Structure 1
Amino acid sequence: MSRRAPKASIDPDAGKSWLRRALPLVKAHRGLLITSLVLSFAGLIVQVQIPNLVRIGIDKAVVDRAGNLTYYVWAIVGLALVQGLINYLARLYLLRTAYELEYDLRNIVYSHLVRMPFGFYDKVQSGELMSRSGSDIRAVQMYLSFGPSILVQCLIAVVAFGLMLSINVPLAIVAMATMPIIGILGVSMRKAIFPVSWMIQARLAQLATVVDENIQGVRIVKAFAAEGRQLTSLAESADRIRWAYRQDAKIRSRWNPLLDNLPRLGLALVLLVGGLMVIDGHTTIGTIVAFNSYVLMLQPPFRLLGMMIMMGQRASASARRIYEILDTPSDVVDDVAPVAPKLRGDLAFVDVGFAYPNGTVALEGLSLSLAAGETVAVVGGTGSGKSTLGRLAARFYDVTSGSVTIDGIDVRKIKLSALREQVGIVPDEPFLFSLSIHDNIAYGRPDASRAEVIDAAVAAGADEFIEELPEGYDAVVGERGYTLSGGQRQRIAIARALLMNPPILVLDDATSAIDVTVEQRIHGSLKDRMQGRTTLIVAHRLSTISLADRVVLMAGGRVVADGTHASLLASEPRYAEVLASTAMEDDEVSA
């Protein structure tokens, strides 16, 4: 099933109220919504006729005995059936509206999130985003769809009041005497509950972050026997939410009884005043019965009105949290007139300076060129800026100064989708989805055949262990691929990049978790695949460096030496030191 694009979006004008910004989305589904509201109103018209029929039936058929009681009974039954059918259709269209709005909201938020650069995710927590993409969207959807319906339901008060006026004006005024007080109380309740609603949504997001981190990091938690500390952290977050909900409950318990019971006071007034009027002969018993029914009809709408006020405050708080995401612009976007050339692979970093969003400076005045088809290994100590090169080449970040060019074109001028299709990156910590191995390898090319997937897996040295699995390529890996070893995950990631066949390939320490013997077999395949392909290898092992035509030594965010492995080993002491330190690390791991 193809994905339907949202029918509208949120108004980008941050100066407008949250509801006005959401109106384009509501208008896009006005057909369904208006149909639901018209049906709801029609149901109300039918509903208010029933007490009037009861009044006429009592006065004519029971008191005056001038009418057929059976006629009124069947008329009331018929109206009830018609009302039931109308309410069914109204509810059906209302729920369809709600689900359509939720679908569009989720797609709008997710589409914005996938456009955001790495720097955005460096600063926000995934649990916070999950909360805003889940419970916050649901709160806004509930208000946008059910809010208008509740307002229509409240119109029963207007319709009922009109009918009461047509029957007996003084008694109608008595019945509605409490309604202005209810309106004043509703406004006061709205002002009291808004800050608590914001607090609840914010603290739910904090709890989601704690839960997400504990689930994602469950292996670390268990490895350090930190379950107790994490449970304490979770309990503290839950306590903060409980406190906020208690404040919410206090506000509700203070205002809701008044909103619920004031209409009942109207019922007592109708009985008192109406009874006296019957005694004096100014009205009928049927009128009192009908007015009692009308006053009872007023109770649900005003109870719904109180609920709508609370929904509105929750939705207002949630909408503002969602808008905080949508109003955050991406600083990595396509150029006004992007190009999408077929790249050869001449990669150049020209006087590049770069600092991560947290202020960490990674590169300072770095210049490096790779000719098309050349394989270059980048070596350096921790924090020297090696991994940053690949991230800038794929434009996961934009340079702070200088430029990155491919075939002489600044990457900022190249369409992002075209750039990333032609710059393949294999990270040192590969991410696998909870899909089959075939689907993970074919993630960049979902239409790839099984033969093409197997060919990429063979080149990455993954075919052997995949075939040993009971379901082979159809085996579903666990979340993040943790059912596989680190080396197996890296081989699948390499296969995934090779299947894309990009003209530029970045191997960011991509074989660090692979056994040296297996790595040597993979290198044999990779050498064939690297022919005619520009390859940037972030290397630690000497065996990986051997794949390169040229070696670059980095320190302090700059290139400090450039040459072959043999020439650097002979002339650059810092190069020998880096190799020695990495060799010691490998020995410690193997030991």
Structure 2
Amino acid sequence: MISPPRRAPKAGIHPDKGKSWLRRAWPLVRAHRALLITSLVLSFIGLIVQVQIPDLVRVGIDKALIDRTEDLTRYVWLIAALAVAQGVINFLARLYLLRTAYELEYDLRNIVFGHLMRMSYGFYDRVQSGELMSRATSDIRAVQMYLAFGPSILVQCTIAVIAFALMLSINAPLAVVAMAAMPVIGFLGVRMRKAIFPISWLIQARLAGVATVVDENIQGVRIVKAFAAEQRQINGLTEAADGVRWAYTTDARIRSRWMPVMDNLSRVGLALVLLVGGLMVIDGNATVGTIVAFNSYVLMLMPPFRMLGMIIMMGQRAAASAQRIYDILDTPTDIQEHDSTEAPHPRGDLRFAGVRFAYPDGTLALDGLDLRISPGETVALVGATGAGKSTIGRLAARFYDVSDGRVLLDGQDVRDYRLATLRDRVGIVPDEPFLFSVSLHENIAFGRPGASRDEVEAAARAAGADGFIRELPEGYDAVVGERGYTLSGGQRQRVAIARALLVNPPVLILDDATSAVDVRVEHDIHESLRALMEGRTTIVVAHRLATIGLADRVILIEDGRVAADGTHVELLASSEKYRKVLASQAVVA
């Protein structure tokens, strides 16, 4: 199946935070103005046609039925023709309106998702994934509905103006009577808008809370079941759902207090028309046809009054949702790219000079780290949990920026590289590999989508994954389950290693990447890696003696600094700290 080419959003959100949410969204609406204006013009024409029908009924009754001066059939055919024309016009108007809505939704989703993809690791450390999912789905839909359907509803509401103009031309005093309730409806609409806005914000926030609970429990379902915590988690969701229910109930209570009044005020106009109009007919100041036409016009005014309340509620919900979306879009990424001249021939010379780094929550990971790894050298990082070993790899790939000091690759600060270039040159295999719900071939080729099957298989053989992949019924075309949970932990790690090897980076970081593999398989992987490590700078976060054996040097990390440096044999002989770390981690040969 061939996917259609991706179209970039036609416009973005205005960056000025001082503007109202609608003015910030205006560039997006303006980019689709052709479709929107076409829809609105057609809707308006349809309204013009619609309001002609009661006037034809009025004339037909007065002239064909009462005065008997004209043929009734003529009016029947005219009304039927107008009805058909209105149907065709409304169909086209609806078609263009829906196209506008889907185009706006497409652009909004791409804008938000594109921004999320540019955000750094630190952002995801702070923000819950369920919260992001809610803002990227239900909040976008609320904004899209208002931007697309709001103008259309306003145009529909103009039928009141058109109908009022026609009523004035027919009978001005009766027209004023029919529209007597309009000022009261406007006043009530403003009051309702002020009452609904806070609860609209609360609804969206609590929906995001429910999404977070669901997302975390689906992703962590194996842990939940392992600890028989299903009922406790259900209770947690019930509590979050109760908060949503209360917010929706409060919203319904507000609407139930205002909407019936706004709906029925238009019926007050109908009663007044029948009363005053009837008296005018008795006095000879109006005709029966006029009363029938005015009844139709008043009935036409009822939907706009209802839509007026609807657009107020949509506007409040959209304003709350837009602010939640803007909170994301207004958050700058911690990792900024700069234009620079990058070394054309990477050697893999990696250096940490006086590096100090603390995570967003304030946890100090590295404190004055000085470390030099020469091109082609393999270094094992050893240390207690929390010593800062994994952080070294994350800073080399610039998942985070240092708080102080510099990380240099081939003599150039990693902050001066384009991110795409840097991450082509620094490959990292995390200790908890993530696999996508696609085929194994696509998972391995994730960093090089155009890689051939032979190249993918070669990388899998080097990572010790080729054997178990070929045993699967569909081989490399087998689709793994969500997050790769249809595979064992060791199998997922081997696929992740293959994915990194296929990119062939000059610097390879294995962050305890074989922790879930048994000793025999690990030995086979190491034998393959030895050949691949030739000429490649490799950092291995190690806990097993077999993994440490891959390294030319062993670096002991303690309290975010280098505590010892040498070969495994040298450190065993000279460093008490090193021996204690090996003993505490129960590393066996």
Alignment deviations for residues 472-530 of structure 1 (CA, whole Å, 9 cap, x no partner): 11111111001111000000000000000011100000000001111111111101111
- Contact 1:52 1:290 (C-alpha < 8 Å) held by counterparts: yes
Aligned to 2:352: 349
Query: Does 2:421 align with 1:418?
Result: yes
Q: Taking structure 1 as reference, are residues 409 and 27 closer, same or farther at Cα in structure 2, changes over 3 Å only? A: same
Q: Taking structure 1 as reference, are residues 339 and 97 closer, same or farther at Cα in structure 2, changes over 3 Å only? A: farther
Query: Does 2:304 align with 1:301?
Result: yes
2:336 pairs with 329, 333, 336, which one?
333
The equivalences for 1:464-475 within 5 A come to 464-475=467-478
- Letter of the 1:326 counterpart: L
Q: Distance in 1 between matches of 2:211 and 2:259?
A: 30
Aligned to 1:177: 180
Query: Does 2:383 align with 1:377?
Result: no
Query: Does 2:213 align with 1:193?
Result: no
Q: Percent identity?
A: 74
1:533 pairs with 513, 536, 556, which one?
536
Q: Distance in 2 between matches of 1:405 and 1:370?
A: 10
Q: Distance in 1 between matches of 2:74 and 2:432?
A: 79
Query: Does 2:484 align with 1:511?
Result: no
Secondary structure of residue in 2 paired with 1:10: coil
Alignment deviations for residues 52-87 of structure 1 (CA, whole Å, 9 cap, x no partner): 000010000000001110110010000000000000
The equivalences for 1:101-120 within 5 A come to 101-120=104-123
Aligned to 1:217: 220
Q: Taking structure 1 as reference, are residues 184 and 340 closer, same or farther at Cα in structure 2, changes over 3 Å only? A: farther
Secondary structure of residue in 2 paired with 1:354: strand
Aligned to 2:255: 252
- Letter of the 1:490 counterpart: Q
- Letter of the 2:222 counterpart: R
Aligned to 2:145: 142
Aligned to 1:10: 13
Aligned to 2:268: 265
- Letter of the 2:195 counterpart: A
Q: Distance in 1 between matches of 2:160 and 2:417?
A: 61
Aligned to 1:166: 169
1:128 pairs with 121, 128, 131, which one?
131
Task: Report how far residue 341 of structure 1 moved.
Answer: 4.0
Q: Distance in 2 between matches of 1:231 and 1:579?
A: 42
CA RMSD between the two structures: 1.0
Q: How many residues align?
A: 586
Task: Report how far residue 342 of structure 1 moved.
Answer: 4.0
Q: Taking structure 1 as reference, are residues 58 and 337 closer, same or farther at Cα in structure 2, changes over 3 Å only? A: farther
- Tell me the TM-score normalized by structure 2: 0.98
- Contact 2:424 2:503 (C-alpha < 8 Å) held by counterparts: yes
Alignment deviations for residues 273-298 of structure 1 (CA, whole Å, 9 cap, x no partner): 11111111111100110010000000
Task: Report how far residue 582 of structure 1 moved.
Answer: 2.2
- Letter of the 2:81 counterpart: G
- Which 5+ residue runs of structure 1 have no aligned equivalent? none
Query: Does 2:411 align with 1:396?
Result: no
Secondary structure of residue in 1 paired with 2:379: strand
Aligned to 1:315: 318
- Contact 2:65 2:72 (C-alpha < 8 Å) held by counterparts: yes
Aligned to 1:362: 365
- Letter of the 2:70 counterpart: G
- Contact 1:340 1:418 (C-alpha < 8 Å) held by counterparts: no
1:68 pairs with 68, 71, 85, which one?
71
- Letter of the 1:105 counterpart: L
Q: Distance in 2 between matches of 1:175 and 1:242?
A: 40
Q: Distance in 2 between matches of 1:221 and 1:385?
A: 29
Alignment deviations for residues 307-346 of structure 1 (CA, whole Å, 9 cap, x no partner): 0100000000000000110111111010154647442210
Q: Distance in 2 between matches of 1:517 and 1:532?
A: 26
- Letter of the 1:310 counterpart: M
Task: Report how far residue 221 of structure 1 moved.
Answer: 0.5
- Letter of the 1:145 counterpart: A
Q: Which moved more, 1:355-364 or 1:566-575?
A: 566-575
Q: Distance in 1 between matches of 2:349 and 2:215?
A: 41
Q: Distance in 1 between matches of 2:328 and 2:422?
A: 26
- Letter of the 2:56 counterpart: L
- Contact 1:338 1:415 (C-alpha < 8 Å) held by counterparts: no
Query: Does 2:40 align with 1:37?
Result: yes
- Contact 2:343 2:410 (C-alpha < 8 Å) held by counterparts: no
The equivalences for 1:386-535 within 5 A come to 386-535=389-538
- Tell me the TM-score normalized by structure 1: 0.98
- Contact 2:354 2:405 (C-alpha < 8 Å) held by counterparts: yes
Aligned to 1:554: 557
Q: Distance in 2 between matches of 1:143 and 1:407?
A: 52
Alignment deviations for residues 154-183 of structure 1 (CA, whole Å, 9 cap, x no partner): 000111111111111101111111011101
Q: Distance in 2 between matches of 1:194 and 1:339?
A: 51
Secondary structure of residue in 2 paired with 1:540: coil
Query: Does 2:293 align with 1:284?
Result: no
- Letter of the 2:416 counterpart: K
Q: Taking structure 1 as reference, are residues 499 and 44 closer, same or farther at Cα in structure 2, changes over 3 Å only? A: same
Q: Which moved more, 1:359-368 or 1:562-571?
A: 562-571
Q: Which moved more, 1:337-346 or 1:51-60?
A: 337-346
Q: Distance in 1 between matches of 2:125 and 2:474?
A: 37
Q: Taking structure 1 as reference, are residues 447 and 181 closer, same or farther at Cα in structure 2, changes over 3 Å only? A: same
Q: Distance in 1 between matches of 2:84 and 2:168?
A: 27
- Contact 1:340 1:414 (C-alpha < 8 Å) held by counterparts: no
- Which 5+ residue runs of structure 2 have no aligned equivalent? none
Q: Distance in 1 between matches of 2:332 and 2:574?
A: 48
- Contact 1:175 1:269 (C-alpha < 8 Å) held by counterparts: yes
Secondary structure of residue in 1 paired with 2:546: helix
- Contact 2:552 2:567 (C-alpha < 8 Å) held by counterparts: yes
Q: Distance in 1 between matches of 2:346 and 2:567?
A: 26
Q: Distance in 1 between matches of 2:386 and 2:253?
A: 53
Q: Distance in 2 between matches of 1:175 and 1:409?
A: 78
Query: Does 2:246 align with 1:243?
Result: yes
Secondary structure of residue in 2 paired with 1:583: coil
